[in-house]
């Protein structure tokens, strides 16, 4: 007789739980909608020199990687540093009950949504106006620039004074704040270090909205935190970049190797010399038909007859790319440079028939990737997915890596360059937030692939991502001590492993300069804690 009563109670309990869950979820939805709907009104009230955009926000949900799209609630177009500071301070003062986060977006060249802020505020750094770029000459010349300035513009302006930055990236249409938040690496890094090793001073807006000027001697912890800090501790609004006397011409050289060990040995030899080339990079070429014929559009073979008989089809080759800078108005220097190049090349063991040379202006050399960009844009192949993978590999493990990756994993012609070259760790400052392997020499290996939209073949996105995964799994399994450059992880455990013993310092710095985790949510390192009430 009691079973119907138990059944009735059970049904009532289930009904109660369902009603409670509906009300609970409705409260969350109501709270979120109320919070999101009130965001524009609170931001609109801020006193600004620039302005917010709340409707046309789609461009800020895209980046060069073309794989992640997160719509922000608003885009700030700042005309002053105070616009950025006031916005961040306002969000900081809203406390942990606000869902708002902030991401700085330079030229949108991030790969995994790092410059995006889902339902947050994206700051368009290229809108930032302030004191114009200023070049200071003297014994220790430097250029004072906005964090939203493009490196190509810095090149043109500094050359007016016969000066130039020392360290570059291969592509120059990137913002100062963007590259300094990572490292900024190219073929000059073995000699001058990355771009973050060539900064005298920064102006930074912290996650609390404070505007702080910092350098090695003044607010040095913040200075080193921000350099290579992935945007976690502050937004770089201004920087002083070290300069040196500029050349006007470049001897540009390419040679090929069929043996990786010889290729690596020659690269390591060159970066160890006191007097050597000004730029040293390498790249991998797999099964490329008519390779040397393609080079003839930009380079001249030293021996045209021998070069015409060289076949690259079906082979894995390694190209060493070199550059020597000079000033053409000094005839004695031109002769000396020619002699130095001949002397350096005589120490290398490349395939003699593959020596190609060119002479270009300094600007043409540094801006060489832009030529490819123009071609790709004309074919509609620039704004495609770019599942890039950039790794730092200890010198002691590079041969293991090359044997497995170029022997077993990467066996097809890559849809984009594969860079590989060594750098000297002594040129990096370990006080910065940038993470590198624990060896005196390590290699940058960059798989700069482009995915063909809708392709299901080897040039498709899924195939390239699977290939990247295989490479990372091998590195993990073989305990190579690899560190990602432009890192991307999805869990804090992975980030903890990436930073290793420096994780605690990274967390302490976050607590000091952005305790609410307002900044750079797209890195997925820290999550803003939002209590339910």
- Mean pLDDT score, 247-255: 97
Burial class (CB in 10 A: 0-12, 13-18, 19+), 511: exposed
pLDDT over 80 at 530, yes or no: no
How far apart are the C-alpha atoms of 95 and 209, rounded to whole Å? Answer: 13
Helix, strand, coil percentages, rounded to 5, for the chain: 40, 20, 40
Kindly give, in sequence order, each residue whose CB lies less than 8 Å from that of residue 454, ignoring residues fewer than 6 positions away. Answer: 460
For the question of residue 281 being annotated catalytic, the response is: yes
Single out the catalytic residue among 77, 83, 99, 109. Answer: 109
- Mean pLDDT score, 110-128: 96
pLDDT over 70 at 478, yes or no: yes
- Mean pLDDT score, 226-237: 98
Single out the catalytic residue among 63, 83, 203, 281. Answer: 281
pLDDT over 70 at 220, yes or no: yes
What share of the chain has pLDDT > 90, as a percent? 81
- Mean pLDDT score, 333-337: 89
Nearest to 77 by CA among 40, 51, 59: 51
pLDDT over 70 at 23, yes or no: no
- Mean pLDDT score, 105-132: 94
Q: What's the confidence (pLDDT) of residue 297?
A: 77
pLDDT over 80 at 185, yes or no: yes
Two structure tokens written together for 118: 């889902």
pLDDT over 80 at 39, yes or no: no
Question: Considering the entire predicted model, what is its pTM?
Answer: 0.91
- Mean pLDDT score, 69-76: 96
Q: What's the confidence (pLDDT) of residue 38?
A: 55
Single out the catalytic residue among 170, 244, 439, 494. Answer: 170
Q: How far is CA 381 from the centre of its chain?
A: 20
Average pLDDT, the chain: 91
Point out which residues pair with 202 in neighbouring strands: 214, 239
Higher pLDDT, 263 or 310: 263
- Mean pLDDT score, 203-232: 98
CB 68 within 8 A of CB 116: yes
- Mean pLDDT score, 93-108: 94
pLDDT over 60 at 30, yes or no: no
Confidence of residue 1 (pLDDT cuts 50, 70, 90): very low
Long-range contacts (CB closer than 8 Å, 24 or more residues apart) made by 291-299: 291/317, 292/354, 292/356, 295/254, 295/356, 298/358, 299/252, 299/254, 299/356, 299/357, 299/358
Residues 411-465: tens digit of each pLDDT? 887 789 999 999 999 999 999 999 999 999 999 999 999 999 889 999 999 999 9
Q: What are phi and psi of 44, to 5 degrees?
A: -60, -25
How far apart are the C-alpha atoms of 506 and 234, rounded to whole Å? Answer: 13
């Amino acid at each position: 007789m009691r079973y119907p009563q138990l059944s009735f109670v059970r049904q009532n309990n289930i009904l109660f739980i369902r009603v409670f869950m509906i009300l609970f979820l409705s409260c969350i939805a109501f709270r979120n909608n109320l919070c999101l709907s009130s965001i524009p009104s609170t931001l609109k009230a801020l006193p600004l020199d620039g302005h917010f955009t709340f409707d046309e926000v789609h461009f800020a949900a895209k980046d060069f990687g073309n794989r992640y799209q997160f719509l922000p609630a608003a885009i700030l177009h700042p005309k002053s540093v105070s616009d950025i500071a006031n916005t961040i301070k306002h969000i900081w003062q809203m406390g942990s009950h606000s869902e708002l986060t902030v991401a700085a977006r330079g030229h949108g060249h991030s790969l995994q949504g790092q410059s995006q802020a889902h339902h947050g505020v994206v700051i368009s750094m290229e809108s930032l106006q302030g004191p114009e770029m200023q070049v200071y000459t003297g014994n220790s010349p430097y250029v004072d620039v906005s964090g939203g300035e493009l490196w190509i513009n810095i090149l043109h302006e500094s050359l007016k004074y016969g000066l130039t930055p020392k360290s570059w990236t291969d592509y120059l249409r990137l913002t100062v704040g963007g590259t300094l938040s990572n490292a900024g690496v190219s073929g000059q890094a073995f000699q001058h270090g990355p771009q973050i090793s060539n900064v005298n001073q920064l102006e930074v807006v912290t996650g609390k909205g404070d505007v702080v000027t910092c350098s090695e001697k003044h607010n040095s912890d913040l200075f080193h935190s921000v350099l290579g800090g992935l945007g976690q501790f502050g937004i770089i609004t201004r920087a002083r970049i070290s300069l040196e006397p500029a050349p006007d011409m470049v001897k540009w050289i390419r040679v090929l190797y069929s043996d990786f060990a010889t290729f690596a040995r020659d690269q390591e030899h060159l970066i160890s010399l006191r007097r050597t080339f000004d730029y040293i990079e390498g790249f991998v070429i797999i099964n490329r038909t008519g390779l040397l014929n393609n080079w003839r559009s930009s380079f001249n073979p030293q021996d045209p007859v021998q070069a015409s008989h060289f076949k690259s089809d079906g082979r894995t080759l390694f190209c060493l790319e070199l550059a020597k800078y000079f000033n053409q108005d000094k005839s004695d220097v031109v002769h000396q440079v020619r002699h130095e190049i001949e002397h350096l090349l005589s120490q290398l063991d490349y395939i003699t028939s593959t020596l190609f040379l060119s002479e270009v202006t300094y600007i043409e050399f540094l801006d060489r990737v832009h030529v490819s960009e123009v071609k790709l844009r004309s074919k509609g192949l620039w704004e495609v997915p770019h599942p890039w993978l950039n790794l730092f590999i200890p010198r002691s493990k590079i041969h293991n890596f090359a044997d497995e990756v170029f022997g077993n994993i990467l066996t097809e012609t890559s849809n984009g360059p594969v860079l590989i070259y060594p750098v000297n760790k002594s040129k990096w400052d370990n006080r910065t937030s940038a993470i590198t392997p624990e060896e005196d020499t390590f290699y940058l290996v960059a798989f700069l692939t482009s995915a063909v939209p809708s392709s299901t073949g080897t040039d498709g996105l899924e195939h390239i991502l699977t290939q990247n995964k295989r490479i990372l799994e091998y590195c993990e399994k073989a305990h190579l001590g690899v560190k990602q450059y432009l890192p991307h992880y999805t869990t804090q455990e992975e980030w903890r492993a990436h930073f290793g013993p420096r994780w605690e310092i990274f967390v302490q710095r976050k607590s000091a300069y952005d305790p609410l985790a307002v900044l750079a949510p797209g890195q997925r390192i820290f999550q803003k804690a939002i209590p339910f009430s």
